Structure formats: C-alpha cells, structure tokens
A and B are shown apart, each in its own frame.
Chain A
Amino acid sequence: MFHRVRFLFFKELIQVFRDPRLRMTLIFPPLFQLIIFGYAANLDVQHVPIAVRDLDQSVESRDLISRFGSSKYFEIVAYPEGPNDIEALVKKGKITFSIEVPSGFAKKIKKGETAAIQILVDGTESNTALIALGYVSRILSEYSNQVIFNRLNLEGMGRFEEVGVEVEHRIWFNPNLESRYFYVPGVIASIAFLIPIILTAQAIVREREIGTLEQIMVTPIRPWELILGKTLPFAMIGFLDIILIAFIGVFWFKIPFRGNPFILLLGSLLFLMSSVGIGLFISTICSTQQQAQISTFFFVMPAFILSGFAFPLENMPQWLQYLTYLSPLRYFLIIIRGIFLKGIGLSFLWPHMKALAILGGGMITLSSMRFQKRLK
C-alpha cells in the first residue's frame, strides 16, 4: 500500500542530498543560527556608555557619580563641557545617556531640600534605554535612601535604619538569566519550522515547473500517496534537525534538558505537521520556485513575530494576541522551552500539543484539498 510512497520518499531524499545548494541549506543555516543565538544574541544590558557633567564638584556629587562609575552596568566614557557636547555625543551614538548634576546640589541636600539631577536618554534603542533607566533609578533610590539615613542619624534617630522592606528574589529555571537558555530551544523550533516549509514547497513547485508533476499525475498514483510521498521526507529531515540541534544545544551550549525527550519528540511530530502543511499550502498558490520563496517569507515572518520567539506576546495589543494563536510556532516554543528548562510533562503541555495537532491537521487537510483541485 505504501509502495508508491516509498518510491517518492527515496527519490526526494536522493534529490535533496544530491543538490549541493539544498544540502547546504540543511546544515549551515541551522548551525549558523545556533551560533548566532548561542553566542551573540544577548539581551543583557551591561557596560552602557554614559557621559557625566558635574557642575557641583562637591563631595556629595562625586559620591553619586562614583556609584555610576563603579556599577558594572555603566561605563563613564566622557565628561562633556557643555550641553552642546552632550548633544553631539548622543547624536554620534557615543553614549546612551548623560547625567548632569547642577550646581547647588550638595547645598540643597545639606539644607534638607529635594535636589534634582538631569538625565538625557537616547531612546533610539528603546529596549536598552528602558533597562538602563531601570538601573539608574535603582542607583538613585539607593543613594537617596543613604541621604535619608544620614539625615536620620544626624537627628539621632539612627535605629530607623533597620526599617523597610527588602526583596529577596530567587530565579527558577535559569538562575543566571542567560539569554541563550531562552534562545537555543527557540532556534531548534525555528529550524524545524523553516526547513520543512522550504523543502516541501520547493519540491512540489519545482516539479510543477519542470513538468514532472504532470508526468506523475498521468500515473495511477492516488492523491494521498503523492501528498504523503512529498511531505514525509521533509518532515523526517526536520525531525532529524531537531534531534541534531538539541544535542548540540545540550552538549555544546550546556542548555539544561530537564524534561522527557520522548514528549519533545511527540511535540516535534505534531509541530512538523504544521510545517509541511504550510509548505504544501504554499505550493498550491505558487507556480514558480521564485514565487514560492517569496510566499514562504510572507508566511514565515508573521509566524515568527507572533510566536514569542523574540518578542514577548504579553506586550502585544490584545487583537494581535488573538492572532498569535494561529502561529504553530507559538505552541511549540512553549513546549520546547517547557521541556528543556522547566522539565514539565504532558499534563502541563497537553493543551499546546492539542493546539498543534488541530492546527497541523487542519493545515494539511486544507492544503491537500487545494492540492487536488489544482490537478484538475
């Protein structure tokens, strides 16, 4: 019964591995992505370049500035003379922000009045700016606490120093908050998404282009045999890619793998249905390989952005959040990160598995129906 599927299956594999370009597609982009996200992608904000202008030149102002200088988050790279210099530094991108301590700063503190400092922030890289500002306000609040305590001490109320709420946090799953723990499982998902889509769409469209699809169509092959034979090989390649990259992730990048590998494999199978389903769908709307490439881009980009691969879903507007439910990548990211980092099992992942099964099954059914219509 699977006789014809088998012939198609091996033919596709021969073609993929014989084509030097396709062979490269299978190996280099995954490794490249892995290296980029494993080493380079780092959302931690450190060594932010700043400029300082101290117009007060007092013990107090120097104390405040030294708190910035000694922080690992900041690096003082310039001491500008005037506002114009600051502007130039910001425009050139030499600094992310500048601090200006006005004259009279120390005098006000000593009098017990509120003293202000000015901070000018370059908001171009909004994320970095936001995180840096968080560190700034932490340093400033520590400093003003110190000022208040000093004051209380002075008034002879030193014992109040003990009062206050202290936060003691403990971070689970990724105690050092390393970006690559977050990204490497994501890379696995993205490769398993992309490669089967590209291969499936290209394999079918190429045959349509050179006329062999028609040649196959005059044989007694049944539509389901053709569809299976044209998708299985690429689902398998995606599956092997998942395993390969997962191994590299665990043994090279030391990403913890806390869950059950079989649950990951099950999730991968369900996820690959969506990938080849989308590839099949693209092949039904395109007649040339070029069109297929462009369409792949249009399908894949939104699926990525709406998946939580890089941008947190919670920050998206509500209506857009509904759309994210359509991205199969969204569910698989939860599954793969959950299994890698949290070690959670089927009982937690079940809803996501179900969603993948529905999406993948739906996609394949829809595409198969469209595919058959195209033949007539």
Chain B
Amino acid sequence: MVGINFAVEVEDLVKTFGDFVAVHRIRLQVRKGEIFGFLGPNGAGKSTTIRMLCGLLMPTSGKGRVAGYDLLLEPERIKRVIGYMSQKFSLYEDLTVIENLHFFGGIYGLKGSVLKERERQVLEKIGLKEISDRLTRTLSVGLKQRLALGCAILHQPEILFLDEPTAGVDPLSRREFWSFIQEMSTQGVTSFVSTHYMDEAEYCNRLALIYKGRIIAMGSPTDLKIKTLSHGVLEVECEPLMGSLHLLKEKPWILEVAIFGNSLHVIGKEGIALEQEISDLFQTHRILLHRMEWVRPSLEDIFVSLIEGERN
C-alpha cells in the first residue's frame, strides 16, 4: 500500500465484540483534503470504525494506514496528527472555554508562547473570543460544538475525525459548522465525518454508506444518485396518504415506497410504466391523486433504497 495520496486507507478491517461483528471487512480510501462522509443508521458501526481509525480501539483484524502511519503498529504516531471530536462533545463543563483549550493544547504537547498563540487563533476562528472566560456548562449546544471542534484543531491536525458532530445542534449552527469544515478542506485538512443527517451528506466530496458493519455503497453524492436510482423517483401527492402507502407497498411492481413530506416517493421495478400503474390502482381504490411528477432522487431516497435492498 502506498499511503502518500491517501489520508486514510484501510483493508479488510474487522472488529468483533465477542460474537457480535460490529465492523465486517471494511475497505476504504480517503484522499488528502477530502471531506469524507460516513453514513448509516444508528448501530451500523460508524463509531466503532472511527474509533479504530483514531487508535482508540484495536482492530480484530485487517490493516490500514492513517496519515501514512500503520494503524496497528504506530497508533501513537497517528494520534499526534489527528483531531477527534465525539458526538458527546467531550469537554470539561466545569472549566471555562479558555481552560478547556489550554488543557487540550497542553495534552497535545503545545507549550508556552506557541500554545498561547494557537489558543488565540482558535478562539478567533470558532468565534468564542468574547466569552472565553465563561464556564462551558453555561454554553448552548451549538457553542459547545464549536468549542469541541476548537479543542480538536488546536494542534493543527492533518485529519479530523468527527463522530456525529452535529447531533442535537440547531440547523444554523450545523450550516456554520459545515462551512467551517469546507474551509478546513481548502487548507488541505482531511475530514472524516459520520452523520445520519442525509442533507449533510450533500456537503461531502465522497460518501460511504455503512449498514450492519458493512459498506454497502461508496462514491460521490452524484455518483451514487446516478448509479443507484437511474430510473428516477416518482413523487406522488395523494389522499389518503397512509392508505396509499400500504396499498402500494403490497404491489409486486414496487421496489420502494416511502413518505416524503406530504407526498410519497415511489420507486418502481425496471421496465414498469409506473405512472400508468399508479393512476389505474388509485382509480380502482378511489384514491384522490393530486399530483404526480418525476423528481431527482435525494440521497435519502438512495439510502432508503440501498438499505431496503440489503434487507431483502
């Protein structure tokens, strides 16, 4: 394996806890400076994978490199060049903003004037300069998230591992957070982000979908849309919604149907005249059809269909 162009590169990574296989033979490559999204439902193995990549968990088997260092042999070297932010925003609530930064900076080995300078820069960057003496306990979730990120970038890591960094954060803070990640990316910092917000996946350069410990799809958002649902999604607005949902679910020519806002997103099997079938069906069942139109699949459609495909 040549690790020069890849920030993260793993092969056949496995982690088992007793009989439970949390991560099964994962294989992925993340380019330097890329924003790599790691998607999947809760319990799919996202956190376990990230923890292995950070050197927090020893893989059961497999091999890999992070920032050019061997995952199994050089975890301590890896730790020096990565930043990690967990979904819990692990901060000391009883310390002030600046004390948290100071502590983590010190633990990362920064000292003296270098540490002071970095603290200043980071405070500026995350916009907490004015409230640097406030106790962390008193901050809103959005501000805590920024501080946690600040603590993770003090030592100027090459790679950021962000484990559901936006969980429980308001939409505005989420957007700010992502623009921040994008800015880091332009400076060459790689971000490995796990999330289960589908809209966030659109911010990523590339995505991997993990389900039950396996990667079931990987590629750029556009790639995935083209590859997975080439024949498109039919958006159907009708009444009653739930009744139609159950009705459609039982039809053999339906691949997937799901509620999307106040309408249904319907995916048919290949070679089916979907519009015709639906209007016929609705007519016989006296379902009111308001609107029917082909739409570009969203990532949510894609993942729902991929996961459904796995289940069957």
Binding site for B on A (CB under 8 A): 3-4, 6-8, 11, 14-15, 18-19, 210-212, 214-222, 375-376
Contact = CB atoms under 8 A, between A and B. Distances in A.
18 contacts: A3-B106, A3-B111, A6-B106, A11-B92, A11-B95, A210-B88, A211-B90, A212-B91, A215-B86, A217-B56, A218-B54, A218-B55, A218-B56, A218-B79, A218-B84, A219-B107, A220-B79, A222-B76
A292 B99 CA distance: 27
B108 interface: yes
Nearest to B102: A7
A376 B57 CA distance: 5
Contacts of B76: 220, 222
A294 B251 CA distance: 59
Interchain residue pairs A-B with the least CB separation, the first 9? A7-B106, A211-B90, A215-B90, A211-B88, A218-B84, A212-B90, A220-B79, A219-B107, A220-B80
Contacts of A212: 90-92
A215 B58 contact: no
A211 B92 CA distance: 9
A15 B88 CA distance: 20
Contact of B108 (A210, A217, A219): A219
Candidate in B82, B102, B109 with the most chain A CB atoms within 10 angstroms: B109
Interface of B: 54-58, 76, 79-80, 82, 84, 86, 88, 90-95, 99, 102-104, 106-109, 111, 151
Contacts of A14: 95, 99
A27 to B, nearest CB: 19
Contacts of A375: 56
A184 to B, nearest CB: 34
Q: Is chain A's binding surface mostly helix, strand, loop or mixed?
A: helix
B92 A219 contact: no
Contacts of B55: 218
Contacts, number: 64
B259 to A, nearest CB: 35
Contacts of B54: 218
Residues of B contacting A: mostly: loop
Contacts of A214: 56, 86, 90
A52 B59 CA distance: 82
A211 B93 contact: no
Contacts of A3: 106, 109, 111
Q: Which of A8, A220, A222: most chain B CB closer than 10 A? A: A220
A211 B164 CA distance: 14
A218 B161 CA distance: 10
B107 A216 contact: yes
Nearest to B92: A212
A210 B136 CA distance: 13
Contacts of A15: 92, 94-95
Contact of B82 (A8, A211, A218): A218
A269 B114 CA distance: 36
Contacts of A216: 107
A325 B153 CA distance: 51
B201 to A, nearest CB: 25
Given A214-B56, A217-B56, A218-B56, 11 more contacts: A3-B111, A4-B106, A7-B102, A7-B103, A215-B86, A215-B91, A218-B84, A219-B104, A220-B76, A220-B109, A221-B107
Contacts of B57: 376
A11 B96 CA distance: 11
Contact of A4 (B88, B90, B107): B107
Contacts of B91: 212, 215
A375 B102 CA distance: 24
A19 B99 CA distance: 15
Contacts of B109: 3-4, 220
Nearest to A22: B94
A11 B86 contact: no
A36 B113 CA distance: 51
B95 to A, nearest CB: 7
A144 B67 CA distance: 96
Contacts of A8: 107
Contacts of A211: 86, 88, 90
Contact of A210 (B80, B82, B90): B90
A133 B108 CA distance: 69
Nearest to B83: A218
Given A15-B94, A19-B94, A215 B106 contact: no
Contacts of B108: 219-220
B42 to A, nearest CB: 17
Contacts of B58: 376
Nearest to A11: B103
A222 B90 CA distance: 19
A220 B106 CA distance: 11
A221 to B, nearest CB: 6
B66 to A, nearest CB: 12
Nearest to B82: A218
A210 B148 CA distance: 13
Contacts of A6: 106
Contacts of A19: 94
